[in-house]
Amino acid sequence: MTDHWHAPLRHIKAADLSGNTGQTSGMTRLEAVSGKTVGAEKVWMGQTHVAPDTNSGDHHHGEAETAIYVVSGNPVFVFAEGEEEVRIQTGPGDYVFVPPFVPHREENPNAEEAVVVIARSSQEGIVVNLPSLWAPVAT
């Protein structure tokens, strides 16, 4: 019998990341730690690749909080604040926090791929694609 004190650690190799998760146009999400992959109950973790000169579609992640760590490239994170479109310019080593239900998109205006690591407060990779940043938030 396995209890919390004796549960095994799980090793997810880079080559074993799965693209079998919610996707948004213009980017590729790869799932590493989730309910499906390791039986996680409270966290989802993976990475996103945004090709050069590409924008993702507008989307949100439901009730999940999302933390993003920029590994490489200079992705731009875009969200709406009232009538204004706000752009956060990032670089390697930067972090971005996305609150639950906040519509946003990732942009990569540069000539190199942007790669970020994502952690969410859910065991599933919740993705709700939207027609715009100002669209009503579908849950």
How is residue 60 written in tokens? 């949100």
CA distances from 8 to 2, 11, 39, 44 (A): 9, 10, 12, 18
Q: What are phi and psi of 106, to 5 degrees?
A: -105, 140
* Structure confidence by residue, pLDDT tens digits, 49-105: 999 999 988 999 999 999 999 999 999 999 999 999 999 999 999 999 999 999 999
Q: d(Cα 114, Cα 71) in Å, to the nearest integer?
A: 8
Domain positions in the chain are 16-126
Classified by CATH at the fold level, domain 16-126 comes out as: Jelly Rolls (2.60.120)
Q: Looking up tokens 């799965």, which residue turns up?
A: 18
Q: How confident is the model at residue 126 (pLDDT cuts 50, 70, 90)?
A: confident
- Give the three-class secondary structure for 130: coil
SS3 per-residue string spanning 20-81: CCCCCCCCEEEEEECHHHHCCCCCEEEEEEECCCEECCCEECCCCCEEEEEEECCCEEEEEE
Whether the Cβ atoms of residue 115 and residue 45 lie closer than 8 Å to each other: no
